[in-house]
A and B are shown apart, each in its own frame.
Chain A
Amino acid sequence: MATPAKKPGIIQGTLDLLILRTLVFGPLHGHGIVKHIKSVTDEVLTVEHGSLYPALQRLEKVGCITSGWEATDSGREMKLYRMTTKGRAQLRAEESKWAQLTEAMTRLLRPGQARS
C-alpha cells in the first residue's frame, strides 16, 4: 500500500534516493537522516516523518538497507540504518535516472542551453 505523500515538495520516489544518498556517508538513525537532508539542502527539502519511517521500512524490505540497534557517540542506543551492496547499486540506478530526468526537464525548460 502506498504511503500517502503528506506534502508536495518531494516528488514521490525521490525520498528513497535522498535516504540512500544520505546513508553513503555512513550509518545513521532516522532523526539524523531528516536533519542531514534538511541542512544539506538549506531547508529546501524537508522530509515528513510520516513518510520517512514507512520509506525506511520499504527500503529495508527490498534489501537496500539494513538496520540494527547501536550505541551512538552520545552513548544513546539508536536504531541505525546502513546501506547494503544492493542499496549502492540501487542508488547508482536512481542517480542516473534522476540525471536523465533533470536533463530532460532542463532541455524542456531552456531548449537553447541544453543543446550546447
Chain B
Amino acid sequence: MMKKSDNIPEKNPFKVPDNYFEEVNRKIISATTGIDKEVKVVSIYSRFRTSLLIAASVAGLILLSFAAIKILTPVRPYSQLSEVLKEMSPDSYINDIDLQPLEEDASSLVLSEEGPDVSKKDIIDYLLNENVEINDIYAQL
C-alpha cells in the first residue's frame, strides 16, 4: 500500500494566485445567495391572487350585465328593415303618385286606335314598369 511518506514530498506542487480563495468565495456567494430565492419561487399568481380574483369577479359582473341588457332590450331588426324596404319599394312610390290624371290622359291616347282590349290601369302599369319617368308621361299628355 502506497503511503504518503514513501519518497514523495508532502508539498503540493500546484500554485494558485494570491488571495485566490477569498476572491472565489466572494464570487460564489455573490452569484448565489445574492439572488433572493424566495422571490424566485413565488409566482405572480400567488402574489396577486386576491387582486386577480376581485378583478375576475368584476369582469364577470360586467359581462353578465351586458348580456342581460342585450337580452331584455327587444330589438326587431326585421320590422325596422321592413319599414325601410317599404319606403324603398316601387309600390310605395306608386302609392304616392296621383294616378288619376295619368289614367284619364292615357286612355285618350290608347283607345283612339284599334288595338287589343287593355285597361287604363294596364297601360299605366306598363309605362311605370318600363321605368318611364312620370314627368315625361305628363309632358307627352
Q: Do A and B bind each other?
A: no
Instruction: Identify the A interface with B (CB < 8 A).
Output: none
